[in-house]
Amino acid sequence: MSDHITKTIEDLKLKVSEHEEAARRTKHMANELCSMAGMEKIYADVDTPKAHKPTHLRGDEYYGKGQATAVREYLELRKATNKGPATIDEIHDALSAGGYQFDAKLGKRGMAIAIAKNTHTFHKLPNGKIGLMEWYPDVKESKSKKGSEEQSPDSGNEKPDSAEETT
Residue 159 has pLDDT above 60, yes or no: no
Residues 65 and 80 in one domain: yes
* Dist. CA 111–CA 92, nearest whole Å: 8
Query: Using 50, 70 and 90 to split pLDDT, how confident is the model at 139?
Result: confident
Are 24 and 81 in a shared domain? Answer: no
Confidence of residue 141 (pLDDT cuts 50, 70, 90): low
Q: Are residues 98 and 138 part of one domain?
A: yes
Say if residue 160's pLDDT is above 70. Answer: no
Same domain, 88 and 118: yes
Question: 4 lies in which domain range?
Answer: 1-54
Its pTM stands at: 0.52
Place 48 in a pLDDT band, splitting at 50, 70 and 90.
Answer: low
pLDDT tens digits along 123-133: 999 999 999 99
Domain count, the chain: 2
Centre a 10 Å sphere on the Cβ of residue 63 and count the other Cβ atoms it contains.
Answer: 13
In a shared domain, residues 112 and 89: yes
2-46 confidence digits (pLDDT tens): 777 777 877 787 788 788 888 888 888 888 898 899 988 888 777
Tell me, yes or no, whether 84 and 45 share the same domain.
no
* Domain final residue pick, 17, 35, 54: 54
Whether residue 151 is predicted with pLDDT greater than 50 in this model: the reply is no
Domain CATH code at residue 69: 1.10.10
Residue type, 96: S
